A = this chain, B = another copy of it.
C-alpha cells in the first residue's frame, strides 16, 4: 500500500507544527509520497516584494512575477527545507516539481471565464506514475510541490489538493494507494466555529447536503471535490485529518457510497 499524504500551507508555514509533522511522516511505514502547499509563505513574500496577492474563488491569480515567486517558495524553500528535515530523520526524500523527471504535466487553464494566468489543470494522463514507482522502489520518498509544467517550457501554479488526488489516482492504477489530506483542523467540521464538530464520514449524499447548507466553503469545497474524485477513481481510502494525527485514525473518512 502506498500512502499519498498532503499537507497544507498553514502546517508548512509553522515551524513547530512542521518539525513535528516531519518526524511523524518519517515514521509512516511503507512507501509514501508527500504533497505540500506553501501559499501562506508565498503571499508573505509577495507582500515583502511590494506585490499584492490576488485571489479569485480562493485560487491565486498567477501572473509572471507571481509564478516566479510561487516557484521559488514551493519548489525552492518549502520543498528543500522539508526534504532536508526528512533526510535528518533518515527518510531519503526528493523534492519534485512537475517538470522534474516530467513527473506532472499540466495544461494552462483557459483564460475564460476567469483568467488565472499561469495556473495548471491536470487530467488522468498528467502523472508519470512509472517514475514515481522507480523512486519508491529505490526507497526514495517523493516530496511534490504545487508547480507543474506544460512540456513547452512553461511552469504552472497548480492546486496542491488536485495534485495529491491526481497522483493518488494514477498510483492506484498500478498498486493499492491511500490518500490523506492533513491540515490544521481535526477533520471536516459540521460547524466551522466548533473545532469539536468533526464529521466522522461523508458520503456523496452528505456532501450535497453540506454544500446546500453552506457548511463547506473556501478551500474545503475543492478539497472535498478532490477527495471524492480520488475515492471514485480507485484510491483505496481517503481521509481528511489534523497533521498531528497522521499516524492515528481520527479524522473524516470519505465514502464512495452511502
Contacting residues, chain B, for A97 (C-beta < 8 A): 80, 83, 95
Contact indicator A99/B87 (Cβ below 8 Å): yes
Q: In chain B, what residue has the closest Cβ to A70?
A: B76
Secondary structure class of chain A's binding surface, majority of residues = helix
Question: CA separation between A79 and B75, bound complex, in Å?
Answer: 9
Question: CA separation between A48 and B74, bound complex, in Å?
Answer: 19
Question: CA separation between A99 and B135, bound complex, in Å?
Answer: 15
Q: How far is the CB of A29 from chain B (nearest CB, A)?
A: 20
A140 interfacial by beta-carbon distance below 8 Å: yes
Interface centre among A87, A92, A97, A135 (most CB of B within 10 A): A87
In chain A between 120 and 143, which residues have their CB closer than 8 angstroms to a CB of chain B? 131, 134-135, 138, 140
Report copies per complex: 2
Contacting residues, chain B, for A140 (C-beta < 8 A): 101
Contact indicator B49/A88 (Cβ below 8 Å): no
Which segment, of A150-158, A206-214, A238-246, faces chain B? A150-158
A184 interfacial by beta-carbon distance below 8 Å: no
A36 interfacial by beta-carbon distance below 8 Å: no
Contact indicator B84/A155 (Cβ below 8 Å): yes
A149 interfacial by beta-carbon distance below 8 Å: yes
Contact indicator B84/A92 (Cβ below 8 Å): no
Contacting residues, chain B, for A84 (C-beta < 8 A): 99, 149, 153-155
A119 interfacial by beta-carbon distance below 8 Å: no
A88 touches which of B95, B135, B151 (Cβ 8 Å): B151
Question: CA separation between A102 and B84, bound complex, in Å?
Answer: 9
Q: In chain B, what residue has the closest Cβ to A76?
A: B76
Contacts A88-B151, A88-B153, A93-B99 aside, 15 further interface pairs with beta carbons under 8 A come to A71-B76, A71-B80, A72-B77, A75-B77, A75-B95, A76-B77, A80-B147, A80-B155, A84-B153, A84-B155, A87-B99, A87-B102, A87-B149, A87-B151, A92-B101
Q: Provide 10 A-B residue pairs closer than 8 Å at the C-beta atoms, listed in order of the A residue.
A: A73-B76, A74-B76, A80-B99, A80-B155, A83-B97, A84-B153, A85-B153, A87-B102, A87-B149, A134-B134
